[in-house]
Structure 1
């Protein structure tokens, strides 16, 4: 039986055994399931500022975890080795590895209670909770909800780092367990989102507006040549961000691009341009931070 996945705007219609655009959500017996539930490809104890979160428990550490799969196709992806894993192949998830186009990507299987125990283990070293990051975590939103519940019971925090491509009803399921978010606003052009990133600007904007109402929210814009380096678009972004909440509640990270993935032949973004973008942003947003400079 064919079934529609309802997580994001792609609305993939999947036949039995078929996996969607994200390469994570699969039709199994007429139900959409995430094949990466509990499958982690990256675990690290990171500074909270690396998420980036500048005004949420500054100076602390957070245990950061990621899986594989993403519902965008950004040509500049910084974590493409895991986020874009499985392109052109059928993923086979096993304890210890995932088969990716004739090579193996190391994995660790941790159920929600065990991941929470690991986070608690690092509390004496300064850990404040868990961050779901690296790939697109909302591809396995069920795991976030189940783990987040344990984390809150232990008086720790949950952080979500996302591209914002999820329907509002999915966000509503996750929000009660999330204490802070960093959401990518990659461009302010519908055409670029659709044509170059495989995304949907309106869904991101709706996601950001809803998240801002109920959690600490910071936004990141990577200044990528030919994609997000227009000062005019940065000004439009700034005006829109300022319209979401009061000026003092907004945090915006404007970050320098370095060549990665399908854009390795490009040059890094000019530092002066990054600073100019930040200057434009500060006309509308109080807290604007530059990154990778």
Structure 2
């Protein structure tokens, strides 16, 4: 029983997440960056302490996370960071990429078959995708910040029973990097395969759908000990994805991956292996077993 429960917690996005507390909404740009950076650091340290069985250190780190506002304050900082005056809202990049599809997307609506989108880690109901009115959007997040966002852990979401419960696009913006451990990141990518529609799309859509819009902090692939662009592409290709679009900025890397066929080449295996050394590297990694 104990082994089973431990496995379930590892798969959950909420594993290791602390309780949240109410905080003030006003926060400066500098404070926003500091809060997000500190929150990520403390979460990683706490996850490591739990993995090492150091419950005392884990509890101390939990208190520190709670003291700075917990998950809710982190989400508010992320939401402010995505506001227009801070140059945020990653979905604007997605809408730019989908511009050639606009006639086909509108036709889907006319035919009564609107393009379905699942937004994991949704923070707002007024982003570019929502304002376009081109999609039937379902939004979920661990800690809902607005009406229209269902409070749900994707790793515990019931699997689709049929194509009607699947999606044409899944948005995974700044979510995968928050999953506490490399194995959990791999499990999330594997689970996404079950939520994408395995169907033939009409001309004009087939080059882009079904797809995953994946956004990560740029250092996850540019400055990680265990991940680089080549390995990221190899992992996604092993899952059956083809890279359609990519944009790298100073802070973020944006991808649009189209699912060709949900094939998991597990015989290849993707372990946590050092690719680059150096004290300034981060530990972002994806393990696909």
TM-score range, shorter chain: 0.3 to 0.5
TM-score by length of 2: 0.35
If the length of structure 1 is used for normalisation, what is the TM-score?
A: 0.34
- Greater percentage in strand: 1
Q: Which structure is higher in helix share?
A: 2
